[in-house]
Structure 1
Amino acid sequence: MELEKESLPLAVVVMGVSGCGKSSVGAGIAARNGMRFVEGDQLHPARNVEKMAEGIPLTDADRLPWLDRIGEEINTAQKASQGLVISCSALKKTYRDRLRQAAGGRLAFVFLEGTRDLLLSRMQARQGHFMPASLLDSQLQTLEPPTGEAGVVTVAIENALGDIVALACKGLSGVAVKRGDNHAG
C-alpha cells in the first residue's frame, strides 16, 4: 500500500531503540513512496560514535547537536517540498518535540516496538555496527514510549520486514489523512 502523496507528511522519523530495524524499515518506507531516506546515525558527531563504540551511553548534551542536525535535514527537505524518511532513536518526548519544532508540524513518527529479548538478539547478530549490545539496557531505560502522542504509528517488530513496512505505510496513511483533514478545517 502506498501513501497518498498529497496527504503524506513531508517527513517521517522512524524511531526506537537500537536493533529495532529503523534503517531497514525507513529505507523500505522511503522506497515504497518515492521519498529520500537518510540514515540518522550518519549525522552523529564523531565523538558520539566513539563513545557508543566504547560502550558509553550518550547524554542529553551529546544527543542535542545530533538532533539539531536531523532537524536541519528535515527542515531543508521541507523547504524544498521533498519527502524525507529519516532514522533517529528519538528516545525522549523532548527529543521528538525538538524534531517536531524543526519540521513546523508536518512530521510523523513510526515507533518500532519489540521485546528486550528480540532487540538483544538482533543487536548481537549485527556485523560491523558501532553500537554494542551492552548499551541496549541504557536505551530502554531512556526510552519514553510515544504513547498518546499525535502523529505516531506504532508497529511491532516481531513481523517480517515487508509486513512491518506495509503496516507502517498503512498507519502513516491514516495519520496523514487526519492531519490533512485538520488543516483543511
Structure 2
Amino acid sequence: MGVCGCGKSSVGGRLAESLGAKFLEGDAFHSPANVAKMSAGTPLTDADRAEWLLQLMAEIRNARETGASLVLSCSALKRRYRDLLREGDPELRFAHLAGDRELIANRMLARINHYMPLSLLDSQLNVLEPLQADEAGITLDIRKEPAQLITDILNSNP
C-alpha cells in the first residue's frame, strides 16, 4: 500500500515472485472512467473507489477460499479501505511503502507511460491514513533498495 509512485508494483511483483505467489496490480482493476479521471488530474472520490475496492476484496476472498498465495498492489490510502479489503481475508497483512514527497515526486517524473500525473500526489498524501497500531502490517522506508524491502516484509510475518 501507499501513494502513487512509492514502488507498490515493483516491490509487489518481486515479493510475489519470491513467495511463488500470484501478483495482482490493483491499478488494472480501475474502471476506464476512473483512469480517465485520474489521467485528467482529478482525484478519485470514495464513491469512485467503491466498486474498485469491492473487486479487490473479491480477489482477496477468492485467494483465501482457494488457498492461493496472493500479493496485491493497491493504494489502500484510508483505514476504511483497508477494513473493506480485510473482509476478504481477516488475516490480510499490509506493507506500507512510505517516503517523503520529494523522493516520490522524483520517481513519478521518471515513470514512463503511467496515467497518474504528478499533480495527484499531494491529494493522495493529504488523504493517506498510515497503518494504525491495531492493523497487521509493516511500514517501510522506500529509500531502501527493493531487495531489502522484500526481506523486511518477509521477516515481518508472524
Range of TM-score over shorter length: over 0.9
Identity within the alignment, %: 46
2:104 equivalent in structure 1: 119
Matched, 1:140 2:135: no
Measured after TM superposition, the shift of residue 149 of structure 1 is: 3.0
Q: Deviations over 1:63-90 (max 9, x none)?
A: 1110001001111111110010001100
The alignment's C-alpha RMSD in Å is: 0.8
Q: Is the 8 A contact 2:26 2:73 kept in 1?
A: yes
Measured after TM superposition, the shift of residue 150 of structure 1 is: 2.5
Measured after TM superposition, the shift of residue 29 of structure 1 is: 1.1
Which ranges of 4 or more aligned residues in structure 1 deviate by more than 4 Å?
Answer: none
Q: Whose Rg is larger?
A: 1
Q: Which amino acid aligns with 1:159?
A: K
Q: Distance in 2 between matches of 1:80 and 1:44?
A: 24
Matched, 1:30 2:32: no
TM-score, structure 2 as length reference: 0.97
1:155 equivalent in structure 2: 140
2:152 to 163, 167, 175: 167
Q: Which amino acid aligns with 2:70?
A: L
**Equivalent runs, 1:48-127 vs 2, <5 Å:** 48-103=34-89, 105-127=90-112
Q: Deviations over 1:95-135 (max 9, x none)?
A: 000011122x1200000000000010001110000000110
Q: Distance in 2 between matches of 1:57 and 1:79?
A: 33
TM-score, structure 1 as length reference: 0.83
Q: Deviations over 1:9-44 (max 9, x none)?
A: xxxxxx000000000111111111111000000001
